[in-house]
Structure 1
Amino acid sequence: MIFSETILPGAYTVDIDRHQDDRGYFARMFCADSFLAHGLRPVFVQGSISYNAKRGTLRGLHFQYPPAAETKYVRCTKGAVVDVIVDLRPESTTYLRHITVNLSADNGRGLYIPERFAHGFITLTDDTELTYLIGNYYAPGAEGGLPHDDPAIAIAWPLEVRVISERDRRWKRYSEIGAELKAGMSLAAREGA
């Protein structure tokens, strides 16, 4: 596996190292020792699949507040997406900055998302599937989100949003919840103080 840290400290793309022959290829997509060697938490307690029937489907921007904050390792196993993560760590020099990463079944790339980041994606093809390894249990009372079109984040999505859930349409903008978000995502909140 080839680990590349992004401009958001602690967030990595993980490319597979393909061993090819006339049958196809074989590659590791996860190894706890390799994750540990890069300072990443390789503890995952849940695995999930997101299937999306239509191109232009947007999911996100989702997160969980501490102490239920989640690490995620996301891969696209069918189709293609533009995946977006937003740094919500108030102490970070990259607070509220985001990156976009192309994930597809063809490129085999994964994205490791640290705790206290928002995550979302838009599908570039019909019949798209993502797999998630998640480092904490789903906690409905700890979930949060930001709108995909929040001007405080200013994500340039690559195509028009055609399908989005009502819940994702209703997230409050950062201008409305910024103070609450900072307090909830603080190091003190993370440590359960």
Structure 2
Amino acid sequence: MTYRELAVPGAWEITPQQHGDPRGVFLEYFQGAPFAAATGHPLTLAQANCSVSAAGVLRGIHFADVPPGQAKYVTCARGAVLDVVVDLRVGSPTFGTWDSVLLDDVDRRAIYLSEGLGHAFLSLEDDSTVLYLCSTPYAPGREHGVHPLDEEIGIAWPTTARDGSPLHVQLSAKDEAAPTLAEALASGLLPQAAAVADHVEGLRRAAR
């Protein structure tokens, strides 16, 4: 299993080792020791989610108040999604930038997003099945969003599905109504980089 930190600090692409034989494939998509070595602290598992999406479904950009925030370890068990991380930490040198990882049932990669980062994905195939390990439970009062098609962020979303057919983007009503990055910044919704850094350092101190 290998970890590669993305262009947005605090996010990693994780590539597992797959073991195949005539029966199929086996892999460990999460390992505690390599995770702690990469991030400096263990992953506290409070909730595990599963979503199934038709081709063209776009979910996000979602984030949570920090503290406590919600870190996510995400993989795609079936199908394919372009998974995107956005730096929403006010005061971060990479504020407003994004990076992406293709999660699919071929390479079976995962992505880890630490607290304070925005998360979104676009399904590239019908019945794409995404699994999330979350560090905190869902709490509606501290969950927020930024519009995934905000031109200021400028995410280069794919326009074709994995089979080459055109994608017709579908957003939930909640995501469609989400503010732009500028609007979220002006309203004070976004996490502060200093608060996020303090929170993550607290996790690392506790691990030591």
Match of 1:106 in 2: 106
Could you tell me whether the CA contact under 8 Å between 2:147 and 2:177 is conserved in 1?
A: yes
SS in 2 for 1:49: strand
How much has 1:66 moved relative to structure 2? 1.3
Question: Which stretch shifts more, 157-166 or 113-122?
Answer: 157-166
The separation in 1 between residues aligned to 2:192 and 2:136, in whole angstroms, is: 16
Match of 1:165 in 2: 172
How much has 1:39 moved relative to structure 2? 2.0
SS in 2 for 1:167: helix
Could you tell me whether the CA contact under 8 Å between 1:5 and 1:12 is conserved in 2?
A: yes
Query: What are the superposed Cα offsets for residues 118-157 of structure 1, whole Å, 9 maximum, x if unpaired?
Result: 1111110011110000011111111110111112201111
**Structure 1: 4+ residue segments shifted above 4 A:** 189-192
1:143 is aligned to 2:138: no
The separation in 2 between residues aligned to 1:58 and 1:161, in whole angstroms, is: 10
Query: What are the superposed Cα offsets for residues 67-112 of structure 1, whole Å, 9 maximum, x if unpaired?
Result: 2311100000010011111011223221111012110011100000
Match of 2:49 in 1: 48
Unaligned runs of 5+ in 1: none
TM-score by length of 1: 0.91
Could you tell me whether the CA contact under 8 Å between 1:68 and 1:137 is conserved in 2?
A: no
Matching residue's letter, 2:50 = I
Alpha-carbon spacing, 1:188–1:4, altered in 2? closer, same or farther (3 Å): closer
Alpha-carbon spacing, 1:150–1:68, altered in 2? closer, same or farther (3 Å): same
Alpha-carbon spacing, 1:23–1:48, altered in 2? closer, same or farther (3 Å): same
Alpha-carbon spacing, 1:29–1:188, altered in 2? closer, same or farther (3 Å): closer
Question: Which stretch shifts more, 151-160 or 56-65?
Answer: 151-160
SS in 1 for 2:189: helix
Could you tell me whether the CA contact under 8 Å between 2:146 and 2:184 is conserved in 1?
A: no
The separation in 1 between residues aligned to 2:173 and 2:47, in whole angstroms, is: 25
Unaligned runs of 5+ in 2: 160-166, 200-208
How much has 1:34 moved relative to structure 2? 1.2
Matching residue's letter, 2:7 = I
Q: Percent identity?
A: 35
Query: What are the superposed Cα offsets for residues 131-184 of structure 1, whole Å, 9 maximum, x if unpaired?
Result: 0000111111111101111122011110244321100100011222213134x4
The separation in 2 between residues aligned to 1:33 and 1:188, in whole angstroms, is: 26
> 1:109-124 alignment to 2 at 5 Å?
109-124=109-124
Could you tell me whether the CA contact under 8 Å between 1:145 and 1:168 is conserved in 2?
A: yes
Aligned residue pairs: how many?
A: 190
How much has 1:191 moved relative to structure 2? 5.6
The separation in 2 between residues aligned to 1:186 and 1:87, in whole angstroms, is: 10
Match of 1:133 in 2: 133
TM-score by length of 2: 0.84
SS in 1 for 2:61: strand
The separation in 2 between residues aligned to 1:80 and 1:158, in whole angstroms, is: 12
